[in-house]
Amino acid sequence: MLHNVKTLLAKLQSLQREINLTDDEITIIIYTSLDHQYLTNLLVLPGEFLMWFTLNFEGESTEERDFKENKEEIWISTCIQAAGIIKAYNSMTSNKEDIMTQTWWEHQRYSNFGNLLASRFKSKPHLMQTLRDKFRS
């Protein structure tokens, strides 16, 4: 079943006593299972969500460490991207429903990357020359 943050949060809260998770644990599980392709719609990837419940966290296996590192990266990325969405949304003067469209989200997501890349090349011009040299050879 496809869930978004709202429906999954309601479901987990109804099971919270039985599964013995805190509010913070539920929040982390949900927000590290988001589909970043559709982040503004807050859709949850079922496979990512289920991994929280199918992995054995009793030892220190490589799989467990990789999972935790991956989820930490996703958490940081989600927070950064959410801050960008909030900033862009607050600066919108009309058609705030556009935030739910895939076109709006892709523009926000990739223009941020492009702006960071342009800023880096501007601050360190030798990087651009190095890149040109690599493509020529």
The pLDDT tens digits for 50-71 are 999 888 878 778 888 899 899 9
Per-residue confidence (pLDDT) for residue 1, from 0 to 100: 63
Nearest to 37 by CA among 89, 96, 111, 105: 105
Nearest Cα residue to 3 out of 37, 52, 42:
42
pLDDT mean by block of 10 residues, the chain; 137 residues: 88 93 93 90 92 84 89 90 89 86 85 80 83 80
Structural tokens at position 76: 């940081």
Tokens of 34: 């988001």
| Contact in structure between 38 and 102 (CB atoms under 8 Å) | yes
What is the phi/psi pair of residue 42, to 5°? 55, 45
Q: How many CB atoms lie within 10 A of CB 42?
A: 19
- pTM above 0.75? no
